[in-house]
Amino acid sequence: MQQLVLDASSVVGLLLDPDAEEHAIASRGSLHAPSIVPYEVSNVLRRLQGAGKLADRDAEQAFADYAALDIELWPWPTLGERVWQLRGNLSSYDAAYVALAERIDATLVTRDARLARAPGTTCAITVVA
């Protein structure tokens, strides 16, 4: 089974779009993310709801669906040193996903094409729409 690291953008896509490419990708592997992903995902849902782009009921459902996902969360101590090394090219948030994918030899799944183009990364990155 393939190892996959999902960033917050791909998790939100998985939660909100039943036709998202992430569904097919996620079904092929074990899912991993740095321990910041629950906070990032809930913040995106909050922002979408606050902006009127996501109904209250849909936001509640997406939040509940997130809790049901089987994503292994990885803590800061296992990623921090590599995150710091990537500071010149990536935010600490983005670097955490890259660091994890590199550490466990996984493919990083993202909707952020800029992240995929960042220099200094050594993991496979799949950009989904």
Which helix (H) or strand (E) is 5 found in, with range? strand 2-6
Please state, in angstroms and rounded to a whole number, the distance separating the CA atoms of residues 83 and 54: 32
Q: Provide the pLDDT for residue 27.
A: 86
Please state, in angstroms and rounded to a whole number, the distance separating the CA atoms of residues 92 and 99: 10
Quickly state the pLDDT bin for 82 (edges 50, 70, 90). very high
Question: Domains in the chain, start-ordered, CATH in brackets?
Answer: 2-127 (3.40.50.1010)
Q: Is this model's pTM higher than 0.95 or not?
A: no
Residues in the chain: 129
Mapped onto helix, strand or coil, the DSSP state of residue 112 is: coil
What is the rounded average pLDDT for all residues in the chain? 95
Which pair of tokens denotes residue 89? 């090219």
Q: Is 19 annotated as contributing to ligand binding?
A: no
Of residues 37, 47, 48, 46, the one with CA closest to residue 10: 37
Which pair of tokens denotes residue 94? 């983005």
Q: Is 94 annotated as contributing to ligand binding?
A: yes
Please state, in angstroms and rounded to a whole number, the distance separating the CA atoms of residues 57 and 121: 38
30-55: pLDDT as tens digits: 999 999 999 999 999 999 999 999 99
Residues 113-126: what's their mean pLDDT? Answer: 96
Which pair of tokens denotes residue 47? 């922002």
- Please check the confidence at residue 11 and state whether its pLDDT lies above 90: yes
